[in-house]
Amino acid sequence: MNGSEERRRRLLQLVSAAAFLAVAVVLVLIVVNSSETDGGDTELEGVATAKRELRGIPQDGLALGEPVAEVTLYEYGDLQCPVCKGFAEDVVPDVIEAKVRSGEARIEFRNFTIINEESVPAAAAAIAAGEQTRGWDFLDVFYANQGQEATGYVTDEFLAAIARAVGVPDIARWDEERESPVVLRRVQHESEEAQRLGLTGTPSFAVTGPSIEGKEVLGTPGSAEALEEAIEAAG
């Protein structure tokens, strides 16, 4: 065997070893990806619907819509509340499509945790998702997968599966922030604000805008049309 062929044989041996290394790298990537995901998102409902509904609309925390919109609609809700789920699926999407997407109004979700103590970690998880611009995705997917209230279904695993499903970019950061004193205090402040406004149930709505002074409490209007009229009156 001449020198050139010998060198080629050695290089091919080297490549064979490198190929094993490459396969090992792929396996490591697969293990890391799988362990980060845990496959939990595949059983959740409403992920694609939420994406479709919110696509192209700016999110800032739990506020949805153009920051310069003159009118802000506030929704005070409890993620465990079944009536809130009904509104999230049948009423709010129409308002988003008619008034928020156009830039006429923005809608801001405020946590009013009235069902039981399980509502607090759910609210905190939504706020933490909002810190990574996935707040409304989180709300929508939570409602789409809501269980029977106060039955203990709001577990860390349930919340993490939603966060992953809606694509929260940094899950470790989300996990840290949702338990931080700052976020938990914010949940408390939002509930206290709802009580100060005299709200007694969820969902309740309020509106601010150039045509009204302060925050006008709307209560629980029965339809998207009623909310849209309130937005128009405030504008």
Partner 1 sequence: MKAPAEGTLQRIATFVAAFGVGVAAYIAIEAAGGDAPTCIAGSSGCETVASSSWSHLLGVNIAVFGIVGYALLLATALLRGDVARMAGFGISLVGFGYSVFLTYVELFRIEAVCQWCVASAVLMTVLFAVCALRMVAYVGRPT
How many residues of this chain interact with partner 1, rule: CB under 8 A? Answer: 45
Decide whether 120 or 144 has the Cβ nearer to partner 1. 144
Question: Residue 146: left (phi > 0), alpha (psi -120 to 50), or beta?
Answer: beta
Kindly state whether residue 41 participates in binding partner 1, applying the rule CB under 8 A: yes
Q: Which two tokens stand for residue 184?
A: 């938990």
Decide whether 7 or 189 has the Cβ nearer to partner 1. 7
Residue 194: count other Cβ atoms within 10 Å of its Cβ. Answer: 25
Could you tell me which of 116, 176, 175 has the C-alpha nearest to residue 147?
Answer: 116
Kindly state whether residue 19 participates in binding partner 1, applying the rule CB under 8 A: yes
Cα–Cα distance for residue pair 110/92, rounded to 1 Å? 14
Least distance (Å) between residue 53 CB and partner 1: 11
Q: How far apart are the first and last CA of the chain?
A: 88
Q: Are 166 and 137 in contact (CB under 8 A)?
A: yes
Least distance (Å) between residue 33 CB and partner 1: 5
Of the residues 45, 56, 94, 201, which one makes contact with partner 1 according to CB under 8 A: 56
Least distance (Å) between residue 127 CB and partner 1: 18
Cα–Cα distance for residue pair 71/81, rounded to 1 Å? 26
Least distance (Å) between residue 134 CB and partner 1: 9
Q: Which residues bind partner 1 (CB under 8 A)?
A: 4-5, 7-12, 14-15, 18-19, 21-23, 25-26, 29-30, 32-33, 36-37, 39, 41-42, 47-48, 50-52, 55-56, 59, 133, 137, 164-172
